[in-house]
A and B are shown apart, each in its own frame.
Chain A
Amino acid sequence: MDREPILRWVKTAFLVAVFILLVFNFHWLEQLAPSLFARRGIMIERIPLPVSAWQHIYLVSISSFLSILCAVFLGTIAFFPFARDFKELFVDLSSLGETFPSVAIIALTVPVLGYGFWPTLLALYIYGILPVLRNTITGIENIDPGVMDAASGMGMNTGEVLLKVALPLALPVIIAGIRTSVIINIGAATIGATVGAGGFGVPIISGIRSYDIALVLRGSIPVALLAVAADSLFSNLEAIFEARR
C-alpha cells in the first residue's frame, strides 16, 4: 500500500480525535484563550456539549441515511428505460433544490410537523436527497458507453447490468454526492435549533441572541470540525472505490 492513503486515514483519525476531545473538554480551549471566551451578557443555562454533539450527529445520521437510501433508489429507477422522462426531472429538481435555502424548507415543514426533531429531520432528509440523486444519475450516465453496450451485448439483463456494472462503476461519484449531502446537512442541522431540534445550533443561536461570542464559538467550532472530519472520511472512501475501478 502506498503511503499516501495511510496518511489520508491518519488525517481523518486526527480530525475525529480532535473533535471528540474538544466536545468533552471545551473548557481547555476557553482556558487557552480566556479573552476570546470571556463570558459576556447574561448567564444562560448551558446544555453540555456532548449532549449537543449527540443530538447533532443523531439528526444528521438518521436524515442522511434515509436520504441516501431514497436517492440511490430513485437514481436506480431513473436508469430503467421507462423512467427516461423522470431522469431529466430529477436532475433539474436537484439543481433547483440546491438553490433553495434549507432554512426555507425547515420553515415549510414546521407548520406541518410542529416544532422539534421531526420537522428538522424531514427538512434535512429532503435536502440531503438532492446531491446523492443527481450524482447517482450522472455517475451512471457518465460510464463509458462501450462498457454499458458490452454489458447488455454479453447477455446481462437490466438488473444484472445495474448491479454488476452500473452501480459499482458509479460508486465513487455516488459517494462524492453523499459527501456533499452529509456536509451540507451538518451545517444545515444547526438551523434546527431555531425550531427546537437541539444540536450545535443551540449555543450558536442563543449566543447570537445574547451577543455572546463565546457561546457562538462553543457551537460553531465543533460543528466546523465535524464537517471537516466527515469530509475527510468520505473523500477517503471515494478514493478507495476510485482505486478499485
Chain B
Amino acid sequence: MITLEGVTKQFGTVEAVRGVDATIREGEITVLIGPSGCGKSTLLRMINRMIEPSSGRISISGEDVRNTPPELLRRRIGYVIQNVGLFPHYTVFENISVVPRLLGWKRPRIEERVTELLDLMGLERSFAQKKPRELSGGEAQRVGVARALAANPPLLLMDEPFGAVDPQNRARLQTEFDRIQKQLRKTVVFVTHDVEEAIRLADRIAVMRDGRLVGHSSPEDFIRQSAPPFISEFLGADYSLNLLARHRLRDHYRPTRGTARGTGNPTLPETASVKEAVALLVTRQLRELTVHDEAGAVLGTFTLDCIKNLFGGESGGS
C-alpha cells in the first residue's frame, strides 16, 4: 500500500503537484490519468525518489520512502517509461538482468529468471542475445516490462509505457499486461493520458488536473456518483459505453429455466463483453439476446435491464 499525504512539488514558480492525498491499494492497478502537463509523471517519480517532494510524505507499506537510500529503494520498485530506455549497448539478457546484478544475484539464478520472464512476456528465448536495435517497438516494450519485473518487485511504476507503440500493438500489449497482472497481482501505478487504456487496465482511476488529484475511484464509480464536470468531460461522453468493455456477459444475464430456444434472437457466448452485446442490440434494433455457454447450451437472456446496476447502483436499489 502506498500512502501519499499532502504531497507537493514545486519547480521554481511552477507548482507541478499540489497537496495530493491518496491511498494506493495493494495488488491493484491504479491508473493516474489527466491532460498532458498536469503532474502525473512528477507524482509518479516522487514515489521512487527520482524527484524529491517539496513537502508532504510518501510511504510504502507504512515506511516513509525517505528512510531508504534512493538506489536501494529503486531496486525494489519496477520502473517502466514511455521510450523504454533499454540500454542500447546491452543485449536483451543483460538489460533484463540489470537489477538482479545490482542486487548481487548469482549467474544461474539470473539465467533462470531471464528465461522465465521471456516466457512470461511471450518472447522467444533466442531474444536473450539480441540487441535492442534488433527489436520492434512492441518487443522492446515487452523487454522493458520484463526488465522492470526482473527482481520480482511488489510495486511497479509505469509512465505511459505503451504510449510510443502503434494502436494495434498497444491493444495487444494491454491485453497481455492485463493477463500478466492477473497472474502476478503487483501493486501498479500506471500513468496514461489515454482514457481507453485506463478503462482497459484500471482497478482504480485517479484523475489529475493542474497538479491536483480531482477524482479517485473505481472506473464505474465515476458514473454512479455523477462526477464533476471536468472529470466527465475528460473521460468523454462515450465513457460509459467504453466501460462496458470491461464486463463479461457471464456476469450480466437473466438465467432462464429449462430451454428457451426458438426465440429467434441472436446469441452471444458468455465470454463476450457487455459492450459487444449492447452494440448488437443497437445495430439489430432488439430488446434482448440469448447468452450461451461454450458448449452452445443456452444460459439465459441479456437485456439492457441487466446492466442498470452497473451505473445506477446507488439509486437503482441493487
Instruction: Choose among A149, A154, A169 the residue with the greatest number of B CB atoms under 10 Å from its CB.
Output: A154
> Contact check: which of A150, A157, A160, A168 meets B85 at CB < 8 Å?
A150
Establish whether residues A152 and B102, one from each chain, have CB atoms under 8 Å apart when the complex forms: no
Establish whether residues A150 and B89, one from each chain, have CB atoms under 8 Å apart when the complex forms: no
The 8 A CB mask of B77-88 against A (1 = contact, 0 = none) is 001011111111
Establish whether residues B85 and A147, one from each chain, have CB atoms under 8 Å apart when the complex forms: yes
Total A-B residue pairs with C-beta atoms closer than 8 Å? 61
Q: Given the known inter-chain contacts A146-B81, A146-B82, A146-B83, please indicate yes or no for A152 contacting B50, CB distance below 8 A.
A: yes
Establish whether residues B83 and A153, one from each chain, have CB atoms under 8 Å apart when the complex forms: no
The 8 A CB mask of A117-161 against B (1 = contact, 0 = none) is 000000000000000000000000000101111111111110010
A147 cross-chain contacts in B, Cβ below 8 A? 85-88
Establish whether residues A153 and B74, one from each chain, have CB atoms under 8 Å apart when the complex forms: yes
A148 cross-chain contacts in B, Cβ below 8 A? 85
Closest Cβ–Cβ distance, residue A166 to chain B (whole Å): 11
> Which residues of B58-79 have CB atoms within 8 Å of chain A's CB atoms?
70-76, 79
Establish whether residues A155 and B85, one from each chain, have CB atoms under 8 Å apart when the complex forms: no
Establish whether residues A165 and B87, one from each chain, have CB atoms under 8 Å apart when the complex forms: yes
**A157 vs B71: C-alpha distance in the bound complex, in angstroms?**
6
Nearest A-chain residue to B150, judged by Cβ:
A154
Q: Given the known inter-chain contacts A154-B74, A155-B102, please indicate yes or no for A149 contacting B88, CB distance below 8 A.
A: no
How many A residues face the partner with a CB closer than 8 A? 20
Establish whether residues B86 and A150, one from each chain, have CB atoms under 8 Å apart when the complex forms: yes
Closest Cβ–Cβ distance, residue A204 to chain B (whole Å): 43
Establish whether residues A155 and B84, one from each chain, have CB atoms under 8 Å apart when the complex forms: no
Instruction: Choose among A146, A150, A155, A168 the residue with the greatest number of B CB atoms under 10 Å from its CB.
Output: A155
Please tell me if A244 contacts chain B, counting CB pairs below 8 Å. yes
Establish whether residues B98 and A154, one from each chain, have CB atoms under 8 Å apart when the complex forms: yes
Please tell me if A46 contacts chain B, counting CB pairs below 8 Å. no
A245 cross-chain contacts in B, Cβ below 8 A? 88-89
**A154 vs B76: C-alpha distance in the bound complex, in angstroms?**
9
Closest Cβ–Cβ distance, residue A119 to chain B (whole Å): 41
Establish whether residues A146 and B87, one from each chain, have CB atoms under 8 Å apart when the complex forms: no
B117 cross-chain contacts in A, Cβ below 8 A? none
A169 cross-chain contacts in B, Cβ below 8 A? 88-89
> Which residues of A208-245 have CB atoms within 8 Å of chain B's CB atoms?
244-245
How many B residues face the partner with a CB closer than 8 A? 23
Q: Given the known inter-chain contacts A155-B102, A156-B102, A160-B102, please indicate yes or no for A150 contacting B87, CB distance below 8 A.
A: yes
Instruction: Choose among B48, B84, B87 the residue with the greatest number of A CB atoms under 10 Å from its CB.
Output: B87
Establish whether residues A144 and B83, one from each chain, have CB atoms under 8 Å apart when the complex forms: yes
Establish whether residues B75 and A155, one from each chain, have CB atoms under 8 Å apart when the complex forms: yes
B85 cross-chain contacts in A, Cβ below 8 A? 144, 146-151, 153
B48 cross-chain contacts in A, Cβ below 8 A? 153
A144 cross-chain contacts in B, Cβ below 8 A? 83, 85, 88
Establish whether residues A168 and B89, one from each chain, have CB atoms under 8 Å apart when the complex forms: yes
**A148 vs B84: C-alpha distance in the bound complex, in angstroms?**
11
> Which residues of A11-49 have CB atoms within 8 Å of chain B's CB atoms?
none
> Contact check: which of B74, B89, B99 meets A152 at CB < 8 Å?
B74
Closest Cβ–Cβ distance, residue A3 to chain B (whole Å): 22
Establish whether residues A153 and B102, one from each chain, have CB atoms under 8 Å apart when the complex forms: no
B147 cross-chain contacts in A, Cβ below 8 A? 154
> Which residues of B78-110 have CB atoms within 8 Å of chain A's CB atoms?
79, 81-89, 98-99, 102
**A34 vs B48: C-alpha distance in the bound complex, in angstroms?**
76
> Which residues of A167-223 have CB atoms within 8 Å of chain B's CB atoms?
168-169
B88 cross-chain contacts in A, Cβ below 8 A? 144, 147, 169, 245
Instruction: Choose among B50, B73, B86, B88 the residue with the greatest number of A CB atoms under 10 Å from its CB.
Output: B88
Closest Cβ–Cβ distance, residue A14 to chain B (whole Å): 31
A244 cross-chain contacts in B, Cβ below 8 A? 89
Closest Cβ–Cβ distance, residue B73 to chain A (whole Å): 8
Establish whether residues A156 and B71, one from each chain, have CB atoms under 8 Å apart when the complex forms: yes
B99 cross-chain contacts in A, Cβ below 8 A? 154-155
Closest Cβ–Cβ distance, residue A46 to chain B (whole Å): 51
Establish whether residues B79 and A153, one from each chain, have CB atoms under 8 Å apart when the complex forms: yes
Establish whether residues B72 and A149, one from each chain, have CB atoms under 8 Å apart when the complex forms: no
Q: Given the known inter-chain contacts A165-B87, A245-B89, please indicate yes or no for A149 contacting B71, CB distance below 8 A.
A: no
**A152 vs B224: C-alpha distance in the bound complex, in angstroms?**
42
**A147 vs B90: C-alpha distance in the bound complex, in angstroms?**
11
**A153 vs B73: C-alpha distance in the bound complex, in angstroms?**
10
Closest Cβ–Cβ distance, residue A168 to chain B (whole Å): 5
Spell out A's residues near B (CB within 8 Å): 144, 146-157, 160, 164-165, 168-169, 244-245
Q: A152-B74, A168-B89 are in contact. List 9 more A-B contacts (CB 8 A).
A: A146-B81, A150-B87, A153-B48, A154-B74, A155-B74, A155-B99, A156-B102, A169-B88, A245-B88
CB pairs A–B below 8 angstroms (10 shown): A146-B81, A149-B85, A150-B81, A151-B85, A153-B74, A153-B81, A154-B98, A164-B87, A168-B89, A245-B89
